Every structure is written in C-alpha cells, then in structure tokens.
Amino acid sequence: MILKKVLTMSAIIALLFPLFAQTLLAGDMTGREIIDRSNALENVQDMEAEMRMEIIRDDRVREREMIMYSLQAEDGTEKSLIRFLSPADVRESGFLNISYADGEDESWLYLPALGRERRMSSEERGGDFMGSDFTNEDMTRTIDDYEYELLGTREINGREVYEVESLPLTDEIAEQVEFARKITYIDAEHLYLHKEETYNERDEKIKELTTDNVTEITDELHLPLKMIMRDLENDGKTIISYEEIEVNTGLTADDFTTRALTRPLR
C-alpha cells in the first residue's frame, strides 16, 4: 500500500503554476520571450491555490483535491509544496520540490503512514502527473530545454494569440519528455495560455490542452482557472480547476521545508 502510493506520487515533480501569464505590452517578442513572460511565477513572488483534478476514463471519474504553494526565490530557485486534501486515503500526504537555478531538482514525499518525509528521485519528466492525462513536464516545463519559434499570430475565440512552436533541444530530452514538438497558443494581450497541442515523432497530434475561465488575478496577471487535457490516443480526459488563487501572500522559504511538509493540515 505504501509503496503503491510512493510509486504513484513519485510521478509528481515540482507542480508549479504552469505557464500562463501576465499582462504585457506586446512588442516584437521572440518565441522564447513570449514563453518566458507567460510563466506566471516570473511575475509574482509567491502563489497559493486550491485545486481540484478530475480524471475521466470512460464513465468513471476520480477526483483529487489539493492545496499548492509556490515561491520564486531571488536566486532563481523555485519551490513548490503540495498537500492532498482528498480522497481520504491520500489526505495529509504531501510533496515538496525545490528546483535550483542551475537546473538541479530535489523532491520529498510525505506519507502519514511512513511517519516522516522521504527523499525521492526527481527524474520522471515524461511520467503521468498523478495518473492523469497531464505529464510532469506539462506541469513544470523546463524552459531552457527547448528551442522556440514564433510561427505567427491567429485568432482564437475572438482574441489574438501568438502561435509558438517548442522543439526539444536534444534527442535525449525528446526521449525523456516523450514528445517531438508542441504548438502553444498564448494570448497576445495578457499572455495567458489558450491552447496547446502535443505531437509525437510521427507528427501525429497526441494531446490537446484547452483552457477556460480566464480570471484577472491582479492588474498584471490573468490566469485560466480551468484546464482540460485530452489524450487523443487513449480517449482520456483530465480537468484541472483552480478553486482559489492568491498571489504575493508573503510566503517565505520556511514554508517550503520538510518540516512544513509534515505539519498537520488545518
């Protein structure tokens, strides 16, 4: 039982608040600059959110609820902490990830049954995020591992969007992340994600991510509160909904320690 949970949750790597955005004056930006500036954590110091994930397979729906905290430190280190609220068999479990500016990661898992935190391997980029249709890489894009090209602009749902192509820099990275390229559609005004398509090495579209419920978090930050990932190969669907998002709440490094990871939930 414990090992099963460890195995399942070891697939969670650094769940940061993925991509998705700030308000900018859209000038002549490159594909890389658009992706950089659409990373929400580039624009705030910390974030706190409650999230619900629905994993849909045929007629079955499994729900996971969690609370997530994220911090961008001044030295470029990104820290994230997840605590699971439900279902009951994973309640109080948690995951801590620290991603250093030099690209190194370290991760700890907390399972109440173990009675302590447990250092985990942080090399599972292509694995499923908690058995969902998102991969760890979907949630925690390592921006430096890709080259980007701005393909142009187009209109989606009445809004102008940038169309950016991402290609893994090396074959090794492509093998790890298990895709050949992505096309990302980013709002030209507020730089939040509209849609993302994932292609395999045969250039077949294998996944499609769409977003909804775009909300103004601050004057400068707009985020979609709903993300729908469809796996076109196995007909699976996962919906992630952010219930509440707060930014710049004053979180500090002390909130991202193994001590914080094992503290009982309120």
- 149-165 residues labelled b (16+ CB within 10 A) or e (exposed): ebeeeeeeeeeebbbbb
Q: Which is nearer to other proteins, 45 or 77 (CB)?
A: 77
Nearer to other proteins, 79 or 194 (CB): 79
Residue 161 or residue 261: which is nearer to other proteins going by CB?
Answer: 261
- Whichever of 154 and 259 has its CB closer to other proteins, that residue is 259
Contact indicator for 35, 148 with CB cutoff of 8 Å: yes
DSSP 265: P
Burial classification of residue 193, based on how many CB atoms lie within 10 Å of its CB (0-12 exposed, 13-18 middle, 19 or more buried): buried
Neighbours of 117 (CB within 10 A): 18
> In whole angstroms, how close is the CB of 69 to other proteins at the nearest point?
17
198 class by beta-carbon count within 10 Å (0-12 exposed, 13-18 middle, 19+ buried): buried
Please, what is the minimum distance in Å from the beta carbon of residue 258 to other proteins?
7
CB 80 within 8 A of CB 69: yes
Nearer to other proteins, 4 or 28 (CB): 4
Cβ of residue 60: shortest distance to other proteins, in angstroms?
9
CB of 102 to other proteins, least distance (A): 9
The least CB distance from residue 128 to other proteins, in Å, is: 7
Quote the Cα angle for 32-35-36, to 5°. 85
Q: Give the footprint of other proteins on this chain (CB under 8 A).
A: 1-4, 6-8, 10-11, 55, 57, 62-63, 86-89, 91, 98, 100, 104, 106, 113-116, 118-124, 126-128, 131-132, 257-259, 263-266
Q: Which two tokens stand for residue 80?
A: 């994230």
State the DSSP code for 29: -
